[in-house]
A and B are shown apart, each in its own frame.
Chain A
């Protein structure tokens, strides 16, 4: 979101002297050039520490890891790390579990994002109007955010425990089930359980983003709509949603990328089990890494990055037109 807005801004203001001073100042005044150089030095000096850290500890390992994707790179035998071309990629696709993993990933992303968006939107609409204790309420529903995905996995693993879990106990007390359910041992129910945990975690983010966007809608629009006799539903679909479309689209995009790249919760809750039925692409990558096959894990990682970049491009293109008609 920020990068996009900045690009536009940079373009709009282009033509100002840059750090490298490519174009000499029009009047050639010495003072001006000196100023430009000093400015360039300041920019370079202030950017340097951040750039060095990210280059050394993030980009270097990622790039080094990328070339592993084309090598036979197994921790079990490091004597032969020769180039193998696309073998690792083929291995990813021909793995018998690959179809299951892809299908699970789709369920995981869609099954998380849709309820998170709907509930998050509803909460934001209801929190828009001030009421007593609204601040306290917001602080309380905000707290899942302070917990790591891994620990949330553990919390829900305990809640969904088949013998001593509180979820089964509550459902039995309510008369909804007769026998305790083995949530995390049953393929379909395990997916439902991890989705519930992720919905619990992710709704807040949508609420925060949407609430902030809602507060930017001018009251006059609603007054005008009320004068025209527009009902609640019409106001929602013809004013509220169109007005915050940009925020909605970008929030959804960011969340999809993030949920896709979020193995932590599943890792803590089911470890991908039972029988691979909750493995998503990124937990699958953990599994391959733990087996020591860094070559194949890197190939999978590259596929993830490529897939996400492609997806982000399509998503931005598909929503661009709508964003331009923003009021």
Chain B
């Protein structure tokens, strides 16, 4: 037990927790309310905290004139494929890094860590030239390949933590029972790791879904844009159309929020397992 709690202490605690919750949720509430107002009401005084006339006009505008459906599809395809492939590849590297000792191991882990320190912008120019040579500029496959590389380092570290939480004895037993190492990996380890794998995939998916700068650099034509690139286009002009912008923001946030809520426990576990071991 962690000391006694006084009534005054409890009051302060729950007051603070409540305030923080309000502060956290309010921006999301506000963008949702804005998106559901009739376009004219967004810029009306006094500011309404609840839409006077509920309207889906901002949303229909988004899919009508702004072609948001295309961006949504692009983002969905790119994030799903890149997230899944990166998870599969990272599973292999994470397994090796968790189960074997070898000379280059610490160097490889260091190389993964350093990728997190490099500002993305130093690589954009050469990456653009490389993708031009590969004829993969303005091409969804090109963006997918780049995103896979972006996801791998962190995903590997995260999955390695999950592998390390599974005792060696489990696969040793399976191998004594006659399974090969591959058999042990796929039939015994992976089923146990499923929540961790799902969490890693969701983490990758959300990162790709949200990525802006690489996508802006590599995707030029309107039919290939992902959502963040399209949103960036919305603010390039001086006047932001807050009606369409708020609707687009809600549609962008909603899927990732649901995915995170679904897997939050395992994502937290993946993030903290390394830190707590120190």
Q: How far is the CA of A13 from the CA of B148 in the complex (A)?
A: 32
Pair A147/B256 contact, Cβ less than 8 Å = yes
Q: Which of A84-92, A103-111, A121-129, A187-195 contacts B (4 or more CB under 8 A)?
A: A121-129
Q: Is A114 an interface residue (CB 8 A)?
A: no
Pair A143/B274 contact, Cβ less than 8 Å = no
- A-B contacts at CB below 8 angstroms, number: 282
Q: How far is the CA of A46 from the CA of B118 in the complex (A)?
A: 25
Q: Is B193 an interface residue (CB 8 A)?
A: no
Pair A147/B21 contact, Cβ less than 8 Å = no
Shortest Cβ distance from residue A152 to the other chain B in the assembled complex, whole angstroms: 8
Interface size class of B (residues with CB under 8 A): 35 or more
* Residue of A226, A235, A282 touching B121 (CB-CB under 8 A): A282
Interface size class of A (residues with CB under 8 A): 35 or more
Residues of B within 8 A of A143 (CB): 24, 28, 257, 260-261
Q: Which of A26-34, A53-61, A94-102 contacts B (4 or more CB under 8 A)?
A: A53-61
Residue of B101, B157, B210 contacting most chain A CB atoms (<10 Å): B101
Closest to A169 in B: B47
Pair B101/A119 contact, Cβ less than 8 Å = no
* Residue of A169, A208, A235, A302 touching B122 (CB-CB under 8 A): A302
Q: A19-B103, A142-B264, A219-B2 are in contact. Are A47 and B93 (CB under 8 A)?
A: yes
Q: Is A276 an interface residue (CB 8 A)?
A: no
Q: Is B160 an interface residue (CB 8 A)?
A: yes
Q: A42-B181, A46-B96, A146-B256 are in contact. Are A2 and B125 (CB under 8 A)?
A: no
| B 33-67 contacts with A by CB, 8 A | 34, 42-43, 46-47
Closest to B272 in A: A212
Pair A142/B260 contact, Cβ less than 8 Å = yes
Pair B231/A154 contact, Cβ less than 8 Å = yes
Q: A150-B212, A326-B278 are in contact. Are A208 and B271 (CB under 8 A)?
A: yes
> Interface 1/0s, chain A 21-50, versus B by CB < 8 A?
010000000000000000110110011011
Pair A261/B27 contact, Cβ less than 8 Å = no
Pair A47/B108 contact, Cβ less than 8 Å = yes
Give me 8 other A-B pairs in contact (C-beta within 8 A), A43-B96, A50-B93 excluded: A18-B103, A53-B148, A61-B127, A123-B17, A129-B5, A264-B213, A286-B213, A304-B122
